[in-house]
Amino acid sequence: MSGFYANGRERSQLIIEHFDILPAVCIELNSLEDSSSVFKHIVDSAPRFKGIDSAGIYVLDSSSGEFILEYATGLPGGFVDSHSSTRAGSGLHEMLHCKETVYPCPSEGSSFTYEGSPQVFIKGLFPLIRSETALSVMFIASSEPGALSQEIPRIMDIMLTVAKAIISRIDLESSARRTEMEHSLLLEGVRDPVYALGDKLEMKYCNGAFRQLVCFEEEGIEETPFSEVAGLELTNIMREKFDEVLDPDNAFCFSEFEYRGRIFNTLISRTPDGLFVLMNDITEAEQTRKKLNFRERFESLLITISTDFIKMRGSTLNLGINDALLNIGVSIEVDRAYLFQFNDTLKKMNNTHEWCATNVQPQIENHQGLKPDNYPWLMNRLSRHSAFQISSIPGLPSWAEAERELFESRDIQSLLVIPIVHGNSLIGYLGFDSVNHERYWSEDIIDLLRVVGDAIGNALVRNRMEKKLIEMYRRAEKEAQINAVLLREVNHRVKNNLSEIIGILYAQRRYASDNDDHDEFVQSLIGRIRGLATVHDMLSSSGWNPLELTMLARRIINSAIANAPDGKKLKASISKTSIRVNPNQAHALALILNELVRNSLKHALAGRDSLRIKVRMRKRRAGRITLVYSDNGPGYPEEVLKHDRRNLGLDLIQNLTIKSLQGELTLQNEGGASAKVVFRRTRTEDGTDENK
């Protein structure tokens, strides 16, 4: 899942600052009277936006085929002193042939220097003029790597749209002596709809893009009233905006509106004899933005739902499932969302939870005690343990007649099914119905819903297990008090282990990407679970009494380094101590040591034939214990020490130290990587030392 803003308030303030600067820049541009001044001003204005240190415009030299830096600001001395002859390097030269905006620029080939000057990192490329005879591209850059604000490309597009419109206006004004054909050819070169009006809103010029947009094919458009050419809908949209710009106090205005299924960011500029209008089509950009915003919000919702399920017990789980169905159903705009559960033998299934949109008939009462054997096609699909959708119920195969009757009785047009599987067992499925119309769900949505299915499945299984454990506890309580106490302790430990395993699985899923190596994923998961199993075995053998820390460290480290590649020499030195840790601390320290050893094997051992690992433990004052783990590898990268780079292993160590041990973690480089964990001895309710 995807992505989160570090500070929403700072981002909002940055957006306000940027959009306060933009109108002033546009007004300044509108006061200019030649194209060269416009180009220079947009370059000089770019660093006014936070994060942009420099900018410039490269122009393709048709004779040499090279890009020449024509305008520049904020670049190091070597560029400024001889910018007119500075040519783009090979990597940048290829990027400058872009047909559309490139943002953000790829890291490879997007930085350059000139005669020893500091390195410059290109952040974005914005084509200005592109034709068979001319090509110019503006770039924005920074002296630091890393992405800029998300609003920068939109701000630059608006500023360049204004600049293009003003240049077009300047060209129109300066070409008053040209023939009508020259004007038409000039406008035809613009991809977006462009037109010019007289002071009585009669048509003067328009390009083919505008004719196509308003479906006007007649010849002799000049002097025709705008309303006759554009039609009633566009005329009603533009009338108020025309009046605003024709007011002597206004020179131009921006307006964003939807017309014929397209979204336009439109500039209207006053000219000496009327109006000039450029309709910039931003439909694709807006659709992409909305999709990203939806995915961000939906991912956030699913993370919250999945996290909440880990903590839910008993009746709260039923309420949680109902809330989850409601929130998901509203988010993905379905008419009905529900959960079916199978019994242990898969001989019966019950609709246990349901949410319905307004005016959609509930079906939960009609779907109790159904026999899965009566629906062979559905069970065949569910047995594959893969999500599937039915975009059209009439399109079901002939052997799915029972399913067709079931779905049609619920007025379903389209259906999405997410199997709920635990281990290799099918325990139920989530269903999402579209009642009012047929629809198709994207793979992105299906993948995200699988996460919810897994969370609900784990919660249901855990709930069933807890109910069984409670029943076992009650039976054992009648037999003997000692057995009841032992059962309560086992129940507590089993639940903790299950919660830890579930937490690790979800954390691993969040950090894993589609390109992660599967073997590494499996190996890391096995290592963590093996660490928990080792502690559980030691605690069981000790009767759940405190464990000797030296023995715990030796067992965990020896188990972890057993997975080292063949041919590598590893030596582990573990200090002897009488320190003992209670079961909760033992679980946390086992996972911490396992992650530290895995980190050493993955990074410190890379490119080396041998590695030495040391673990030192000692008591400190005020009941504090210090554990120092180190290796003789190259040490932690600077971004790790500065907390600029995060990963699952480091996050797991940090969380276990703070939340499970109530301790402190320090990472440093001392002859290699070194991690120090400091935590307190725990006290029982009567004040005695639990570690003893």
pLDDT tens readout for residues 309-363:
777 777 788 888 888 899 888 888 899 999 999 988 889 999 999 999 988 989 8
pLDDT the model gives residue 420? 92
Query: Span 8-167: which CATH code?
Result: 3.30.450.40
Residue 423: which region, alpha, beta or left (left: phi > 0; alpha: psi -120 to 50)? left
CA R_g for the chain: 34
Phi and psi at residue 685, to the nearest 5°? -65, -30
Phi and psi at residue 348, to the nearest 5°? -140, 150
Fold annotation for 511-680: Heat Shock Protein 90 (3.30.565)
> Is residue 298 within 8 Å of 331, Cβ to Cβ?
yes
Q: Which segment, 182-191, 324-333, 497-506, 556-565, is predicted with the most confidence on average?
A: 324-333
pLDDT digits (tens, 9 = 90+) for 378-422: 999 999 999 999 988 888 898 989 999 889 888 899 999 999 998
- Section 65-83 average pLDDT: 71
Res. 514 pLDDT band, cuts 50 70 90 = low
> Is residue 483 within 8 Å of 476, Cβ to Cβ?
yes
| Alpha carbon distance 564, 553 (integer Å) | 17
Phi and psi at residue 74, to the nearest 5°? 80, 0
The sign one gets for the Cα dihedral 677, 683, 688, 692 is: negative
pLDDT the model gives residue 301? 79
pLDDT the model gives residue 177? 46
The sign one gets for the Cα dihedral 61, 65, 67, 68 is: negative
Beta strands in 357-468 (DSSP E): 388-390, 414-422, 425-434
Res. 5 pLDDT band, cuts 50 70 90 = very low
pLDDT the model gives residue 115? 58
The sign one gets for the Cα dihedral 387, 393, 395, 400 is: positive
* Percent of the chain's residues with pLDDT above 70: 83
Query: What stretch of H or E contains 481?
Result: helix 481-511
pLDDT the model gives residue 551? 92
Name which of 106, 430, 520 is nearest 98 in CA terms: 106
Does the pLDDT value for residue 4 go beyond 60?
no
**Which ranges in 568-684 belong to alpha helices (H)?**
583-599, 638-641, 648-655
Torsion of CA 505, 510, 511, 512, to 10 degrees: 80
Query: Span 175-281: which CATH code?
Result: 3.30.450.20
Res. 209 pLDDT band, cuts 50 70 90 = confident
Q: Please give the residue that has the higher pLDDT: either 171 or 605.
A: 605
Cβ contacts of residue 214 below 8 Å, gap of 6+? 229, 230, 231, 234
Peptide bond before residue 104 is cis, with ω within 30 degrees of 0: yes
| Alpha carbon distance 149, 17 (integer Å) | 12
Res. 185 pLDDT band, cuts 50 70 90 = low
Torsion of CA 383, 387, 392, 397, to 10 degrees: -20
Domain ranges of the chain: 8-167, 175-281, 287-464, 511-680
Cβ contacts of residue 680 below 8 Å, gap of 6+? 622, 623, 624, 625, 662, 663
- Report helix angle 8-30 to 35-45, nearest 10: 160
Name which of 319, 309, 291 is nearest 451 in CA terms: 309
Torsion of CA 213, 216, 217, 220, to 10 degrees: -120
The domains spanning 175-281 and 511-680 adopt the same CATH topology = no
Tokens of 72: 């520049």
CB atoms within 10 A of CB 400: 20
Q: Which amino acid is at 547?
A: L
Task: Say if strands 135-142 and 194-198 run parallel, antiparallel, or are unpaired.
Answer: unpaired
Q: Please give the residue that has the higher pLDDT: either 246 or 507.
A: 246
pLDDT digits (tens, 9 = 90+) for 581-624: 998 999 899 999 988 998 888 888 887 888 999 999 998 888 89
Res. 83 pLDDT band, cuts 50 70 90 = very low
Q: What's 345's DSSP letter?
A: T
Q: Please give the residue that has the higher pLDDT: either 5 or 575.
A: 575
Does the pLDDT value for residue 31 go beyond 70?
yes
Per-chain mean pLDDT for the chain: 81
**Which ranges in 312-361 belong to alpha helices (H)?**
314-331
- Report helix angle 518-541 to 549-561, nearest 10: 150
pLDDT the model gives residue 480? 64
What architecture is the 287-464 domain classified under in CATH? 2-Layer Sandwich (3.30)
Res. 186 pLDDT band, cuts 50 70 90 = low
Res. 90 pLDDT band, cuts 50 70 90 = low
pLDDT digits (tens, 9 = 90+) for 446-502: 888 888 888 888 888 888 888 888 888 777 777 766 655 665 677 567 657 756 775
Does the pLDDT value for residue 691 go beyond 60?
no
Tokens of 70: 């024509």
Partners of 121 in the beta sheet? 111, 142
| Alpha carbon distance 337, 489 (integer Å) | 39
Phi and psi at residue 581, to the nearest 5°? -125, 145
Does the pLDDT value for residue 519 go beyond 70?
no
Cβ contacts of residue 344 below 8 Å, gap of 6+? none
Q: What's 390's DSSP letter?
A: E
Query: DSSP letters along 399-419, please?
Result: GGHHHHHHHHHTT-SEEEEEE
* Stated length of the chain: 692
pLDDT the model gives residue 687? 46
pLDDT the model gives residue 116? 60
Torsion of CA 473, 478, 482, 488, to 10 degrees: 10
> Is residue 633 within 8 Å of 611, Cβ to Cβ?
yes
3-state secondary structure of 581: strand
Does the pLDDT value for residue 258 go beyond 50?
yes
Does the pLDDT value for residue 12 go beyond 70?
no
pLDDT digits (tens, 9 = 90+) for 639-672: 888 877 777 788 888 899 999 899 999 999 988 9
